[in-house]
Structure 1
Amino acid sequence: MKDDLPAGVVLSEVKAELFKSMGHPARIRVLEILSDGPVAVSRLRDETGLEPSNLSQHLGVLRRQRLIAPSRQDGRLFYELSCPEVSSLLLSARSLLGTVLQSTRLTLMTLDEPLKEPAVR
Structure 2
Amino acid sequence: MKDELPAGVVLSEVKAELFKSLGHPSRIRVLEMLADGPVAVSRLRDDTGLEPSNLSQHLGVLRRQRLIVPSRQDGRLFYELSCPEVSGLLLSARSLLVTALQSQRLTLMTLDEPAKESAVR
Same fold (TM over 0.5): yes
Q: Which runs of 5+ in 2 are unaligned?
A: none
Offset of 1:114 from its aligned partner? Answer: 2.0
Match of 1:42 in 2: 42
Q: Which runs of 5+ in 1 are unaligned?
A: none
Counterpart AA for 1:77: L
Counterpart AA for 1:16: A
Offset of 1:73 from its aligned partner? Answer: 0.2
Counterpart check, 1:113 vs 2:116: no
* RMSD (Å), alpha carbons: 1.2
Q: Which moved further from structure 2: 88-97 or 108-117?
A: 108-117
Match of 1:65 in 2: 65
1:7-86 mapped onto 2 (5 Å cutoff): 7-86=7-86
- How many residues get paired? 115
Counterpart AA for 2:41: V
Measure the CA separation in 2 of the matches of 1:48 and 1:91: 20
Find the residue that maps to 1:61 and give its secondary structure: helix
Q: Which runs of 4+ in 1 moved over 4 A?
A: none
TM-score of the pair, normalised by structure 1: 0.92
TM-score of the pair, normalised by structure 2: 0.92
